[in-house]
Amino acid sequence: MKQSPAAAIPGAGTYAGTGMRSHAILIVLFLIYMSDYIDRYVVASMIDYIKRDWHITDAQAGTLMSVVLLFITVFTVPASILIDRWSRRKMVSVMVFLWSLATLACAFTKNYTQLLVARAFIGIGESGYAPGGAAMLSAAYPEDKRAKALGMWNASIPLGVGVGLFAGGQIAKHWGWQNAFGLVAFPGMLLALAAWFLPDYKTVRAESSEEGVKDLRGFVAKALQLCRRPSLVLTYLGFAMNVAVTTALMTWLPSYFERTGLAKPGEGGTYTMPIFALVFVGAPLGGFLSDAWRRRKPEARMIFPALTSLAAAAVLLVALLNPGKGAQLYIMIGYGTLATLFIAPAASVTQDLVHPGLRAFSYALCVIVQHMCGDIWSPWLVGAISDRIGLSKAMLIVPAFGMMAAVFFYMGSKFYNQDLALVERVELEAE
């Protein structure tokens, strides 16, 4: 039976409540997401070391990030099908072990091509984690606390990026860049084991077995069905533009700080870390603020990301117009606080507007869109422009993506309430 938003029962669609079971899921998934981004972004603070050893261009260096995102996109489809039809916790466990093993393999590469292939396998491993983790957390917490939980979970992203950037630069400076890959790989292998024993909910079918996502054809059919909900599509696109911004920055800021003279060689990651440390505040704060506003205005989960995306883009532009100056770092820290305020409410929208049996699918579709329309090309694009006019000028294109994100979120807010009224409410049971 379908219900209006006002008739929704608090706590409907949860199987674990808000006790220790839910918190245990959140803690383990938080650490896994942190490991995900450490392994993904450790390369960013070592770009100039790799360029020195193997004589690659900035465009090739950017591709070391883009290839991960490309393979995440390609394999998200089969991974999400398995997640919704098999087991979220088991799929998460397998994926974590695979990307950790691929990260370890990076330590033994002998040339650029081998490193590119190893990085591709990191993308394959990471392809199923975000959809599976989002579905597990969305079911573990009641709807009125969902954005807070997803906000705290997503706070692990900037923390992982910061640790990866700091560790990569410091290890590369003292012991060589290949050793950095080996050292960051091992925690993920332990977390893969922990994920196997997490609580999970029984797999449920979406509306009818005929409409379930069984294969690629079913995936496309269901994707087209969800694309009839304008607020969902515009949320995906807003996510994509913001991720294009943050991925370009996380890839290039260490080198940018070193090349503009703000940081010494090998210390660009250290200068970048405080920016993403404050992003750690932004993700959960965005969840708390948007949940509070949503009590008075249901579409706040889309208006809030629109406002914060615009503010973040404006602050970033001011910072990038002052390269190499001490004040730039402080302005960038302000950007870091604003940059991920959008994540929790936007991630909640991807879960609010679909049947519980399609939550992993919806987040997987969001991941596909954000990579295809956002971050697959942004590190490469900045690198390619940098090869022609220099990194400092190339970075000036990045704030425009954030402004586009604000437009998409605001447009989506106009359709949110009518799309929410179409969602079927069901109770979930423990596995």
What's the pLDDT tens digit per position in 269-312? 888 877 877 766 777 888 889 888 988 898 888 999 999 999 99
**In the chain, where the domains are located:** 5-420
Q: Which two tokens stand for residue 193?
A: 């084991």
- Write down the pLDDT at residue 204: 54
Q: Judge whether residue 4 has pLDDT over 50.
A: no
Strand spans (E) along 122-230: none
Helices (H) and strands (E) in the chain, counts: 20, 0
- The per-residue pLDDT for 6 is 36
pTM for the full model?
Answer: 0.74
Percentage of the chain with pLDDT > 70? 89
> How far is residue 424's CA from residue 223's CA, in Å, rounded to a whole number?
17
pLDDT at residue 215, as a whole number: 58
Q: From CA 226, how far away is CA 213, in angstroms rounded?
A: 12
Q: How far apart are CA 59 and CA 174, in angstroms?
A: 26
pLDDT confidence tier of residue 3, bands split at 50, 70 and 90: very low
Q: Does domain 5-420 have CATH number 1.10.3720.10?
A: no
Q: How far is CA 110 from CA 118, 123, 157, 178, in A?
A: 11, 20, 29, 10
Cα 123 to Cα 168: distance, rounded to the nearest angstrom: 19
Within 13 Å and on the Cβ side, how many CA atoms surround 99?
A: 33
- Range 66-85 average pLDDT: 81
Give the residue-averaged pLDDT of 116-132: 89
Instruction: Find the range with the poorest average confidence among 124-138, 165-179, 237-251, 289-303.
Output: 124-138
The DSSP line for 292-312 is HHHTT-TTHHHHHHHHHHHHH
Mean pLDDT, residues 415-426: 81
